[in-house]
Chains A and B, each alone.
Chain A
Amino acid sequence: MHTMSIVELAAGLHQGEFSSEELTRSLLARIKNLDPQLNSLVTLAEEQAIDQARNADQRLAGGDATTLTGIPVIQKDIFCTQGVKTSCGSRMLDNFISPYDATVVEKLNQAGSVMLGKANMDEFAMGSSNETSFYGPVKNPWNPETVPGGSSGGSAAAVAARFAPFATGTDTGGSIRQPTALCGITGLKPTYGRVSRYGMIAFASSLDQAGPMTRSAEDAAIVLGAMAGFDVRDSTSIDKPVPDYRANLNDDIRGLRVGLPKQYFTEGLDSGVGDRIADAIDVYKKLGVEFVDIDLPNTHLAVPVYYVVAPAECSSNLSRFDGVRFGYRCENPKDLEDLYKRSRGEGFGAEVQRRIMIGTYALSAGYYDAYYLKSQQIRRLIRDDFVRAFEKVDVIMSPTSPTVAFKLGEKTADPVSMYLSDIDTIAVNLAGLPGMSIPAGFAHDLPVGLQIIGNYFDEARLLNVAHMYQLETDWHNRIPAGFE
C-alpha cells in the first residue's frame, strides 16, 4: 500500500479493498521500522491517527467522504496541531502543545485525512539542509550521507521514503521546492495568499506560503484543492475561488510558451543537473512546447535582498519567544533581562540567532533605509522582471537547485554557500509567484528537480504542465533503495 498514490489509495478505500485503519497501521509500522535511518519525523501521533482513521472509515462507509478521507498525511512541525506537540524544530518549543489547529490542519482534518505525525524541519524553517533542527539532521533516503534539503526536509524525506502519500511543507525561500528536488518528489509552493498562514509559525510573513509535497502532480492537485482558500483569520490570504485543480490536468500543452531565464543557467549550475534539465526540455519539445530565452535581469539581487527581508521579519516574528508565556524558559532567571537573554540564548540555535541579529541590524535606526527599504524597492524590481516575462511566456522553467543533494556537514560551516543553495528558488518568493518542482532524473545518483514557475494564481497550469511530463516519464515513481 505504501507505494500507492493518493488517487490509487482513495480508490482502494472507496471500494473497500482496505480500510483507513489498516492503511494507517501499516504506515505507522513502516515509519517505526524505517525512520530511525532518516529521522524524518519528530513526533508520531499514533493514537490520534488511529482515531482519525476509524472516523474516516465511518465516513467512507457513510458515503460523505472526500478524496482525502482516510488518506495519511505527515504535517510539517511548523503547523500548530491541537493536542500534538508543535516544536518548529526548536528547543524553544520542545514543550509547546498548541491549544488550536492551524487552518491548513483544520482543512485537512475536515477533508478526513489522517495525521500520522509531524515532520522534522530546520529550526523555525531557517535552513536549506535540515541540519539546524534541534532534533538532529534528516537524512536523504537516496543516500543517507547527503542532506534532504530544507527547511521541509523531513516532509520531503518522508514522502520519498513512502512513509505517507503526502506531506505538508512551507516555502519562504525554497523550503518546499528545494527539498522536493533533492529527494526526488513533487512539490508546489502556491501564490502568496492562496493558502492561509493562520497557525503556521511565522518565519518571514511576507514570504511564507504552505503547499503540498506529494509524489505526483495529480496528487498535488488534490491536496492543494483541500489546502487552499480564503481565511478570514489571515488578512493576507486572498478571497478568490479555489478552482478544481484536477480539471485541467490532462489539457494539451501543445503551443505552450515556456521561458528559459538565462540567469538560471550559469556557471554555478552543476553540469549533471544541467543535462537533466536539457533532457526535460526535450521531453516537453516532443509535446509541442515552445521554448523562449528570457531575461530576468535582477535575479542576482534575489539572494542578498532575501537575506535582508527574511531576517528582518523573523527578528520581529520571533520576539514572542521570550520565556514568559510559553516555550523554553531558562532555569532560575536573576531578573527580567537575564530571563530574556538566557531563554532566547539557550532556546534558539545558532542559525536562528544569526538571522535574528542580521534582521535586528537591518531594521535599526540609521540602517533601515539602506537595508530594509532598499530591499523592498529591489524586491519590486524582481517582481517586475517576472511580470514582464509573463507577457511573453506562459510558464518559466529552470533547475530547482543548482546541485543535487550535498553531503551532511558540507556547508554548515559556511552560511553563505548554504544560502546560495536556494539561488534558484528565492526570487519566486520575493515576487509571490507559484512555483513547482518535479523529479527530472538523476545526476551523481541523486535526484534532480525541474522548477516550473507560473503567473499569479496559475497553479492549475503548473499542475497541468507537470502532469503532462509525468505521463511521459517515470522519475516520480522511482523509489530509493531500501524503501521499496
Chain B
Amino acid sequence: MEWETVIGLEIHTQLATKSKIFSGASTAYGAAANTQACAVDLGLPGVLPVLNSEAVRMAVKFGLAVGAHIAPRSVFARKNYFYPDLPKGYQISQYELPVVEKGTVSIELEDGTGKIIGVTRAHLEEDAGKSLHEDFHGMTGIDLNRAGTPLLEIVSEPDMRSAVEAVAYMKKIHTLVRYLEISDGNMQEGSFRCDANVSIRPAGETKLGTRTELKNINSFRFVERAINYEVERQIDVLESGGKVVQETRLYDANKNETRPMRSKEEAMDYRYFPDPDLLPVEILPDDIDAIRTSLPELPDARRDRFLKDYGLSTYDAGVLTASREMADYFEAVVNASGEAKLVANWVTGDLSGFLNKDNREVSDSPVSADMLAGMIQRIKDNTISGKIAKEVFEAMWNGEGSADDIIEKRGLKQITDTGAIETEIDRVIAENPQQVEQFRAGKEKLLGFFVGQVMKATQGKANPAQLNELLKKKLSG
C-alpha cells in the first residue's frame, strides 16, 4: 500500500531578551549553576511574576512576519505538573488565548517547488530549569538558571508531507527568527528545538491517522532522521496488522530510533487555568503598527529583491538570503565593490566552503566584507585573475592581510604588459614548432596547450584575455 505522511511541528525558540520573562534575572547562557536565578525564578513563597514586555514585542514581531492575527487580548495560563526543575509546580504558558494565531510561511524545496505551511499559533511561555543527573552520586542536581527564560512556542498545521518538508519548514522558521533578531537560534544551547507530530494514512485518505509526538529534537538532521524512522516504524506497525498507539516518543540520536515515553492513558492532566497573578496582555493597534514599521526586510522579500536588482539566479538568491548575516555580508561586498554576480559566486562558493570547513559563522569570518570587496576590485581591474584570486582568498582566510598586501608580497600581480606576454609567446612558439604546425593545420584545440605553457612560464600571472588574443594573432600569423 502507498502511505502518505502527515507532519506538524511545535518549535520552541528561546527569545533573545536580556532578562527573563517574569523576573529581572539575566538570561545569559553558560553561567555557574543557580547564579542566575532570583527569588521569583526559585518560586519562593510570596513571589509574583511580572511580564517582560520585550518578550511580548518579540512575539508580535514573529506574528507579523508570518502574516498572523495578533490577539488584542491574550492570557497567561498555568500548566500544572510536578517536576524538580519546575520550581513553582506549574509552568506559566498561554493556552486558550495565545498572542499569535493563524499565520503562514512559504517553504522552497530543492526541486524548486514551493509550499505554504500554516502556523496555527505561537504563544509565550517560560522555560523550566535543568536536572543534572551526573556528578551527584545517584542524586539529581537542579540548575535553575534557565528557569523563566522566555520561549515562543510556534505550532504548525499538519501541513507537511515528508521529513524533507519538515526540515525546510524548520529552517525557514529558524531563518525568520534570526532575521527578526528575536532569537539567536542556537541549537546547541537549546535555543531552538522542536517536537514533531507524525502520522501516516493510506494515500488518498482525508482522515488523519493516529499520531505520535516525537520530543525534543534539536537539529535539522535529527528532525529528518527521527521522522523518517518514525514513519517506517508506523508503516511496519500498520502493515503487520497492528495499530499505532497515540503516545509521546523520545528520539535517541545515538541509536537513531524513537522509543515510547508515555502513552495517552498516562498523559498528564495539566489542569490549565488562567494565571491569577498576571493580567491579560492587551495589545493596541497602534503598538502593532509601531512594531510593523520596525520590522526588517524579511527573507522572502529580500530574495525577490536580489533576483530583481542583482540579476542573481533563484538558487543563489535563496542561499544568500537564508541567513540575515549572509545577506548583509553579500550586500556589503556588493556595495563596496560595485559587482553583484561575481560577488555572489565568491560568497556562495569559496567563502561558504571555507566557513563550512572551519565550522564558522559568516559573522566571524576572517575575511571581512571589506576584504572580499578589495579582492573583487583587483579581479575587476585585472590586477589578478580569478584563478590567482583563489590563492589570494585562502591567504586572506589565513590572516596574511588584505588582498593588496598578499598580491604585493607574493608577486601575484597579473602581467598585462603586452610586450612581456609577447616575449613569452614567442619563446613558446619557438620551442614547439611541431604543435604550431598542427595548430595551423586546423587542430585548434591546441590553443589550450599554448595558453598552459605561457601560464606556466608566467606562474599564472598572464592576463588570460590578453594572452588568448595575442596567441591567436601570433599562431595564425
Contact = CB atoms under 8 A, between A and B. Distances in A.
B interface SS class = loop
B309 interface: no
Contact of A102 (B46, B273, B277): B46
B42 interface: yes
A132 B90 CA distance: 26
Interface stretch (B76-84, B170-178, B430-438): B76-84
B46 A316 contact: no
Contact of B44 (A99, A233, A364): A99
B276 interface: yes
B48 A197 contact: yes
B46 A363 contact: no
Given A236-B279, A324-B142, A336-B84, A316 B90 contact: yes
Interface string A322-337: 1011110000000010
Given A96-B45, A102-B46, A325-B43, A236 B277 contact: yes
Task: Classify chain B's interface size.
Answer: 20 to 34
A255 to B, nearest CB: 38
Contacts of A364: 269, 271
A340 B84 CA distance: 10
Chain A CB within 10 Å, residue with most, of B42, B48, B89: B48
For chain A, which range describes its interface: under 10, 10 to 19, 20 to 34, or 35 or more residues?
35 or more
B48 A363 contact: no
A368 B273 contact: yes
Interface in A42-61: none
A453 to B, nearest CB: 22
A233 B48 contact: yes
A312 B80 contact: no
Contacts of A273: none
B142 A198 contact: no
A316 B89 contact: yes
A198 B50 CA distance: 11
Contacts of B277: 202, 205, 235-236
Contacts of A336: 84
B284 interface: no
A102 B47 CA distance: 9
A222 B47 CA distance: 26
B90 A319 contact: yes
Contacts of B278: 235-236
A168 interface: no
A138 to B, nearest CB: 22
Nearest to B51: A235
Nearest to B43: A320
A202 B78 CA distance: 15
21 contacts: A88-B45, A98-B45, A98-B46, A99-B44, A100-B44, A198-B47, A198-B48, A199-B47, A234-B48, A235-B48, A235-B50, A236-B276, A319-B82, A319-B90, A320-B43, A320-B87, A324-B142, A326-B44, A327-B45, A365-B271, A372-B273
Given A316-B78, A368-B272, 16 more contacts: A80-B44, A80-B45, A206-B276, A232-B50, A234-B50, A235-B48, A235-B51, A235-B279, A316-B80, A316-B89, A316-B271, A320-B45, A321-B45, A327-B45, A363-B273, A365-B269
Interface of A: 79-80, 86, 88, 93, 96, 98-100, 102, 197-202, 204-206, 232-236, 312-313, 315-316, 318-322, 324-327, 336, 340, 360, 363-365, 368, 372
The 6 closest A-B pairs by CB, nearest first: A319-B89, A363-B271, A205-B276, A206-B276, A199-B46, A320-B43
